[in-house]
A and B are shown apart, each in its own frame.
Chain A
Amino acid sequence: MKFGVVVFPGSNCDHDMLDALQNDLNKEVRALWHKDKSLDGFTTEDCIVLPGGFSFGDYLRCGAIARFSPMMQSVIEFAAKGGKVLGVCNGFQILCESHLLPGVLTMNAHRQFVCKNNYLKTPGGEPLLIPVAHGDGRFQADEKTLDELEANNQVLFYYCDEQGNVVESANPNGAVRNIAGIRNKEGNVFGMMPHPERAVSATLGNEDGKKVFELLGLL
């Protein structure tokens, strides 16, 4: 599986993602400029990553303008054909704005930028400690959408405490139902606010991020 990391003006986690994939996860990876359109060399066995940051300065709404970049038109087609797409933080916001994932990410309820390690409850697994860093990470969707997401097992990660309890005190941004990450119904598009690429190196003392990539079937 090869990886492509889309670089938008204002992306600032693109190099973290490229470095993590190439040097810590030993994957073939290349950067894709948002103004280009070509995904030549990528097949639906590969994965396109939308990294974190502040694409287009977060103007209008987070991710709203990036959604219209030429490369995003190719990514939307790639996803429709079954190719894997992962959006982290601003990437998650872009996926929601692109309608590749339901819902939206709104300003943190407490209005502060949050930057810390947070435990995530994973499907059937132990809680993973993954860094979060965002000002607009409060996942929102209407009740019907939320019920569908949960009924279809589309919620990938919930904010939880160290023991894996999904409690309000473990919610860093006020996201509804403590939702930290979701996937689409087809299971090939993933979005999450926490940054697994920041936790894949033993040197940095936390490799829980590797388990996130594993869980998503990206390793």
Chain B
Amino acid sequence: MTYHVQINVMPLKDLLDPQGKAVMGGLVNLGIKSVNDIRIGKHITLEIEAESAEAAKQIAETTATKLLANPVMEFFEIEVVG
């Protein structure tokens, strides 16, 4: 069965995120002052052949741990969407 899995990879909370800082400056220039902070990561979608949603999640975990995210600078969240 085919499962669609989404992975969000984000920079660790205590690390400086230069991209987020740059976009924050853009928002200020746009006149939007109510946004306190922006952090930018990656949204990755996978199509996985697996026997169950749990198995699909396991495979996604492996891809995230081994390649898609680097735990020294990032954390990730996985969601099986169908």
B-binding residues in A (CB < 8 A) = 60-61, 64-65, 68, 96-97, 102-104, 106-111, 140-142, 174
Contacts and interface: CB of A to CB of B under 8 A. Distances in A.
A104 B16 contact: no
12 contacts: A60-B68, A96-B72, A104-B73, A106-B16, A106-B73, A107-B18, A107-B19, A108-B18, A109-B18, A111-B19, A111-B22, A142-B72
A5 B70 CA distance: 26
Nearest to B72: A104
Contacts of B70: 61, 64, 97, 104
B67 interface: yes
Nearest to B42: A60
> Which 5 A-B pairs have CB atoms at the shortest separation, nearest pair first?
A104-B72, A111-B18, A107-B18, A104-B73, A111-B22
A199 to B, nearest CB: 28
A111 B72 contact: no
A106 B15 CA distance: 10
B68 A141 contact: no
Contact of B67 (A60, A107, A142): A60
Given A103-B72, A104-B72, A140 B67 contact: no
A60 B41 CA distance: 11
Overall SS of chain B's interface: helix
Interface residues of B, number: 11
B21 interface: yes
B15 A111 contact: no
A133 to B, nearest CB: 18
B18 A140 contact: no
Contacts of B19: 107, 111
Nearest to B71: A104
A61 B73 CA distance: 11
A107 B19 CA distance: 8
A109 B68 contact: no
Nearest to A103: B72
A97 B67 CA distance: 9
B76 to A, nearest CB: 12
Interface in B28-58: none
A65 B68 CA distance: 9
Nearest to A104: B72
Contacts of A174: 16
Contact of B73 (A60, A111, A140): A140
A68 B68 CA distance: 12
A89 to B, nearest CB: 18
A142 B16 CA distance: 13
